[in-house]
Amino acid sequence: MIITLLGGAGLMGAGILRDLLSDRAIIDISRIRLCDTSRPRMQALAGELADPKIELVDLDVTDPERLKSAIEGADICVNCVPTLLGFQMRIFEAALAAKVSYVDLGGLGTYTVKQLAEHERFKQAGVTAVIGVGADPGMSNVICRAVADELDEIDSINLYWAAEFVGDENPVLVPPYSVSTVLAEYAHPSTQFYDGKHVQCPPMSGVEILDLPEPWGRCEFMHSPHSEQLTVPLADGIKEKGIKEFSWKLHLPHREHEAWVGLVKAGFGDFDTPVTIGGVEIKPLDVLNKVIERNIAANADRIPSQDSHEIHFAIGRGRKDGAARTVRFDVTVSPDPMYAPYTDACTSMNGSIAVQLILAGSRRPGVWAPEEYFEIPAYFAELEKRKFKISRHFEPR
């Protein structure tokens, strides 16, 4: 099989590549087209992995012919180009034109509704697209499906993600993923599903305090823009069970949370509107990225070793066999040597899981969210293979 990996030398793309080439693979891969704008990054990654299946392709998504050439003839196109750069629909359409299966990592739900609206076009063309296949969205959607399947009637599903560091406090701000994504999560309004309809909620609203086991402890969760709330309550097998509420909330590590709140208060939430300095227009995001990069490089020796712990969980409330029931599924990710080469093992490994399950099975043409496409037992088996711990809890409501 041939896999095209766009933005493959970035942090998430590199992680997906590592997992595809690992001994965890369940498909026979003949070639991976590693496509990126940075040849030095591609060469460094290919040199490190030293796998003959890797083929380097210089990527320019603004050039239709070069984009077509990168995708054509592949079994699947994996789009890891950052969503907020604005090329997602262009790549999505290029995969359709080439009749190549497609996945992406979502990106705050920015294009989710537009992509789902193309379901019939993809179905008629015989092309499969599964959108938002990282950890959140992606694995989180599958967790919600697992919750929904345990209920005959659904009142609500509430989805959460929390991260925490264990170790000495870091005096340097190190973004957990792209700076623009974090700022958008904190500064942009979000769409949630309340009272049986989608509603817009202000940034950092819906504050909820939950006591979790250590190392997370007491966590402050908040609404943020994501794609899960745009798809899960409308999914077949969920919407007809009467769901009236679906929310997505996040919690970043305590001290880092304070830093991002401060940056938004300082005005960096409006990161794409230029400011004029000495007659030159500059985007705040460009300045912030450079300052953060410089600070990380200058203070590399001060960055302590920290263990990252994640918990992803969904709580469903409703009825089973006429009796009230609350269902909770957790996926926890604790430090393991397996994750050492990855920047964000959870997101990139889940991207790889999705790609492999699509290619290993009978493909279903159309545009799908993960909760409508993947079979839970097969998906959970792949999570456990990567040492993600899954737990399920039931209690009377």
Contact indicator for 342, 18 with CB cutoff of 8 Å: yes
Q: What distance in Å separates the CA atoms of residue 141 and residue 149, rounded to the nearest whole number? A: 12
Q: Which two tokens stand for residue 211?
A: 């006591």
pLDDT tens-place values along the chain, 397 residues long: 999 999 999 989 999 999 999 999 999 999 999 999 999 999 999 999 999 999 999 999 999 999 999 999 999 999 999 887 889 999 999 999 999 999 999 878 889 999 999 999 999 999 999 999 999 999 999 999 999 999 999 999 999 999 999 999 999 999 888 898 899 999 999 999 999 999 999 999 999 999 999 999 999 999 999 999 999 999 999 999 999 999 999 999 988 999 999 999 999 999 989 999 999 999 999 999 999 999 999 999 999 998 999 999 999 999 999 999 999 999 999 999 999 999 899 999 999 999 999 999 999 999 999 999 999 999 999 999 999 999 999 987 5
To which residue do tokens 């737990």 refer?
391
* Domain spans, the chain: 2-135+346-381, 139-342+387-395
For the CA atoms of 111, 102, 249, 315, the dihedral, rounded to the nearest 10 degrees, stands at 130
Q: Is 195 left (phi over 0), alpha (psi -120 to 50) or beta?
A: left
CATH number for 139-342+387-395: choose from 1.10.630.10, 3.90.870.10, 3.30.2310.20, 3.30.360.10: 3.30.360.10
* Closest C-alpha to 5, from 243, 351, 379, 272: 351
Q: For domain 2-135+346-381, give the fold.
A: Rossmann fold (3.40.50)
Q: What pLDDT sits at residue 396?
A: 73
**Cα 7 to Cα 355: distance, rounded to the nearest angstrom:** 15
Integer Cα distance of 104 and 77 in angstroms: 8
pTM beyond 0.85: yes
**Strand 208-211 to strand 2-6: parallel, antiparallel, or no bridges (unpaired)?**
unpaired
For strands 280-282 and 275-277, give the pairing. Answer: antiparallel
